[in-house]
Amino acid sequence: MNDLDEMLSLLRDEPLPGALAAMDSVVMAGLAAGRERLVGRRGIVLACGVAAVVGLWGGFLLPDAQTGTRHAQVDPLLGVPAAAPSHLLAS
């Protein structure tokens, strides 16, 4: 056991090879780049969320500026609009 302790103490005093000494800066640069990407993604998600909330709030909750009343939803959200040519020709 003492031999192992001596070998480890000798190894501890040895300088690191060039590739291992330079690895620290490469790892830290990679971590910084990953952190920057994460911050960018968070900003985009936040901007999309704010845009969705403002768009839905403005489209559904705000009254019409000219009449002061809210719009009635006539057309189905995902269906064929009543003014579509195929709908007009079918009736």
- For residue 16, pLDDT beyond 80: no
In the numeric block, the tokens 């709908």 are attached to: 87
- 70 — phi, psi (to 5°)? -85, 150
Do 46 and 38 meet the contact criterion of CB atoms below 8 Å apart? Answer: no
Distance CA 74, CA 76 (A): 7
Q: Which residues contact 69 (CB under 8 A, 6 or more apart)?
A: 63
pLDDT tens string 61-70: 766 666 666 5
Total-model pTM: 0.48
* For range 23-31, the mean pLDDT: 88
In the numeric block, the tokens 């490469």 are attached to: 26
Which pLDDT value is given to residue 42?
96
The mean predicted confidence, pLDDT, of the chain is 79
Which pLDDT value is given to residue 1?
64
Which pLDDT value is given to residue 65?
61
The token pair that represents 85 in the structure block: 């040519």
- Amino acid at residue number 84: A
